Amino acid sequence: MSLTPLLSNPPEFLLFGGKGGVGKTTMAAASALAIAERHPDHQTLVFTTDPAPSLADSFGQALGNEPVALTGVANLFAMEIDAKQEIAKFRAQYGEDILNILQEGTYLEDSETEELFALDIPGLDEVMGLKKIMDFMEGKAGGGNAEGGKTVSFDHYILDTAPTGHTLRLLALPELLDTWIQFLSRLRWKYHAMVNQFSRGKERRVEHADEFLLDMKKTVKRVRELLRDPKRTSFTIVTIAEAMGVAETRDLVQELTELQVPHEHLIVNNVVPVDVSSFLQARRAVQDRYLKELRDAFPKLNQTVVELQADEVRGIEQLRAFGKKLL
């Protein structure tokens, strides 16, 4: 078993998820590189929403909040999404309008509203990351600014997700965001009923906030459709052959099934090679138990076993060699 089917014929959206330290970033980076090299005429973007990203470290190249072309490979780009920066942009664009709706619609104390609108909404950083990707997918992301700049779009988006807890939040996000939107909508209608008593300026602010609600609604709908579309999306689980790895995989498979996110591939990383000293053979015997458990527990998943490497996996050269192990 290998990742060949996935990397030879990659969908639009590939996600790599699992608990911290199992090799998500390495797998995402090596897979993106393998895809770019197998499909040199395609545009491939690998990105991360991890608040503590290590994609730049993995490629050995500086990355930022916008796609950067990787040197040494054609048409491969990478980006570390900075949720704080995205939230700041969002605040600048809509912050005051939403704050106004909250204040005038609810008659809350200013301090209460501020708290509500501290934008400390669970999952907001992830939705900002996904919104950014949706903008790329829909050709709305410009070369730096909205007007004039040429639109950038990619054939393949490879997401190196934040550790499991965050990932699950991200996947549940459309639901979370829907609740938030409904709440704002209710306030907005309440406000609308009174709007005649207010000035034109306030009405314009309501219109502006409406734009925001509409925009977010569209994003939620598209994210949901995207995440559930087996023709466009595939979530690859990365784990290790240990008890915690099996338990974590069980939870993740259940969650993905409930959320109807297509998941067919499981990578079992850091497996000790068979041919080593007796100490390592003993380690491998332990892992064999869990390899079997993973095979038995998830017969429907196409499982790829990746051996522990003697060296770290960093830089284009090593990622390229490493990617061959996925094939």
> If you search the block for the tokens 């965050």, which residue do you land on?
166
Question: Among residues 65, 15, 22, 9, which one has the least CA distance to residue 294?
Answer: 22
Report CA 193 to chain centroid distance, whole Å: 39
Q: Which of 2, 4, 43, 54 binds ligand ADP (CB under 6 A)?
A: 54
Under the criterion CB under 6 A, does residue 26 sit at the interface with ligand ADP? yes
CB of 319 to Mg ion, least distance (A): 14
Report CA 293 to chain centroid distance, whole Å: 28
Q: Which of 10, 14, 24, 79 binds ligand ADP (CB under 6 A)?
A: 24
Q: Which is nearer to ligand ADP, 177 or 313 (CB)?
A: 313
CB of 65 to Mg ion, least distance (A): 17
Angle (CA) 96 101 104, round 5°: 115
> Which one of ligand ADP, Mg ion, none interacts with residue 313, CB within 5 to 8 A by kind?
ligand ADP
Taking the C-alpha atoms of 268, 274, 275 and 277 in order, what is their torsion angle to the nearest 10 degrees? 100
Q: Within 267-326, which residues bind ligand ADP (CB under 6 A)?
A: 269-270, 306, 308-309, 312-314
Catalytic residues: 50
Residues 10-49: x/- map of binding to Mg ion (CB under 5 A)? --------------xx------------------------
Question: Helix, strand, or coil here: 14?
Answer: strand
Residue 142: CB atoms within 10 A of its CB come to: 14
Q: Which of 10, 23, 53, 129 binds ligand ADP (CB under 6 A)?
A: 23
Under the criterion CB under 6 A, does residue 20 sit at the interface with ligand ADP? yes
Question: What stretch of H or E contains 159?
Answer: strand 156-160
How many CA atoms lie less than 13 Å away from 188 in the CB half-sphere? 20
Q: Judge whether 249 and 295 are in contact, CB under 8 Å.
A: no
Chain positions contacting Mg ion, by CB under 5 A = 24-25, 54
Chain positions contacting ligand ADP, by CB under 6 A = 20-26, 54, 269-270, 306, 308-309, 312-314
